[in-house]
Amino acid sequence: MALSAVGAFDPIGETLATYANSRHRVAPLLHLACQNCADLAADEKASAILRSSYQDNVYANLRQKAVERNISDLLISHSVPFSFLKGRGLAEQLHNDPAVRQSKDVDILVAPDRSRQVIQIFNDEGYIYKTPALRGKKLFARSRQDMDIKLFKDLTFLDPKFMVPIELHCRLFAFEPNRLTADFNDSVRLRAIPSLSNSFYCLYLILHGALALWQRLKWVVDLSIMARKMAMHNRLEMMDIAKSFGCEVTVAASLLMAEEIFPGSLDDEWQVLLSTYERHESLLRIQGFFYQSLMTASDEKSMLSLKSFVLSGPADFVFPGKISPLESLFKRFMISLSIRI
């Protein structure tokens, strides 16, 4: 991560290596760290787990690369603009060795008015649709896919050759303020691999982690490296965009949490920029959610209020006042109905 070591390290044991691999998805990064850091070591069983995770991820990256190439060729041939989100494209911008960042699927974003066309293309080309329904097969399956992508934040297909999951998005998040995705698309211009020099893309990555309550250390690693790579004008622009969607306190809480977890993530310019938010009454509460989520033994969101569970989940505090409760309730009802019918 290009950060200075803090304190002494005990050797990594089997339990920690397993936890790093299954819960926080940082085992490949730990493997590389053990090879390059004289102060860090792992016992024999832990070394085997970390090495195996790294090797598996090398092969996973190759499969994902092949899937991305096929999707790119397919959508370009149909003149459909698209962006790959996170995944290999992000790993290559963050790490000298992209195989240290784990990702299990390929996320692709298309404009809402092209989603029906892309769904049709995927079906025609033999991609395997993974329905969210409790029943294995839905009535009117094709038309239901067109409807479901408007209800859910994405649809999942499997590549028929490599069996890599593909998440097709026509919006960024399940619950989000009006125009968030539209403004994002205008900013990145749906280029295949959005750049970390784009402030809106950096904001999306932070919001993705925040809406997942920063459950995985992998995402905090991303944030630490990204924060140090951002130029000052990108930092200011990103915070201005965040203000326009009411999520600037959440962004500040995320960045300050990264500094707590990985000291040195924020330089003096970041500290000055974020100093005004440290006094905000909701910042400590939001950070509390993040710390609790990150430290739990398993993925859970039990710390959220009943209101958040019933309505828009973490979006309730990530975008305070920007998500309509009535729209959230209606969408929750329709999602529940769609899953059961």
Rounded distance, CA 281 to CA 176, Å?
Answer: 23
Average pLDDT over residues 7-30: 91
Q: Between 316 and 338, where is the model more confident?
A: 316
Which range, of 235-239, 277-281, 329-333, averages the lowest pLDDT? 329-333
Average pLDDT over residues 72-88: 96
Q: 268-280, pLDDT tens digit by residue?
A: 999 999 999 988 8
**Helix 180-188 vs helix 199-211: crossing angle, to nearest 10:** 140
Percent of the chain with pLDDT over 90: 73
**For residue 36, pLDDT beyond 60:** yes
Length in residues, the chain:
341
**For residue 304, pLDDT beyond 70:** no
Identify the pLDDT of residue 299.
66
Which range, of 27-36, 141-150, 270-279, averages the lowest pLDDT? 141-150
- Collapse the DSSP code of 22 into the 3-class scheme (helix H, G, I; strand E, B; otherwise coil) and give the result: helix
Q: Which amino acid is at 122?
A: F
Rounded distance, CA 148 to CA 132, Å?
Answer: 9
- Collapse the DSSP code of 326 into the 3-class scheme (helix H, G, I; strand E, B; otherwise coil) and give the result: helix
- Strand 165-169 and strand 83-85: pairing? unpaired
Q: Residue holding tokens 């190439």?
A: 69
Rounded distance, CA 260 to CA 291, Å?
Answer: 10
All residues at 6 or more sequence positions from 4 whose CB lies less than 8 Å from its CB, including other chains:
263, 264
Identify the pLDDT of residue 279.
83
Which range, of 188-197, 262-271, 311-320, 330-339, averages the lowest pLDDT? 330-339
- Collapse the DSSP code of 152 into the 3-class scheme (helix H, G, I; strand E, B; otherwise coil) and give the result: coil
Identify the pLDDT of residue 94.
96
| Mean of the per-residue pLDDT values of the chain | 91
Which range, of 18-22, 101-105, 185-189, 304-308, averages the lowest pLDDT? 304-308
Average pLDDT over residues 110-137: 87
Rounded distance, CA 73 to CA 82, Å?
Answer: 11
Under DSSP, the state recorded for 174 is: S
Quick one: how many helices (H) and strands (E) in the chain?
16, 5
Identify the pLDDT of residue 89.
94
**For residue 329, pLDDT beyond 90:** no
pTM over 0.85? The answer is yes
Q: 165-215, pLDDT tens digit by residue?
A: 999 999 999 999 999 999 999 999 999 999 999 999 999 999 999 999 999
Helices marked H in 158-299: 180-188, 199-211, 217-229, 232-244, 248-261, 268-274, 283-295
Identify the pLDDT of residue 311.
67
| CA angle in degrees (0–180, nearest 5) for 57-63-65 | 100
**For residue 26, pLDDT beyond 80:** yes
Identify the pLDDT of residue 15.
95
Q: How far is CA 112 from CA 25, 59, 149, 261, in A?
A: 31, 32, 9, 37
pLDDT confidence tier of residue 331, bands split at 50, 70 and 90? confident
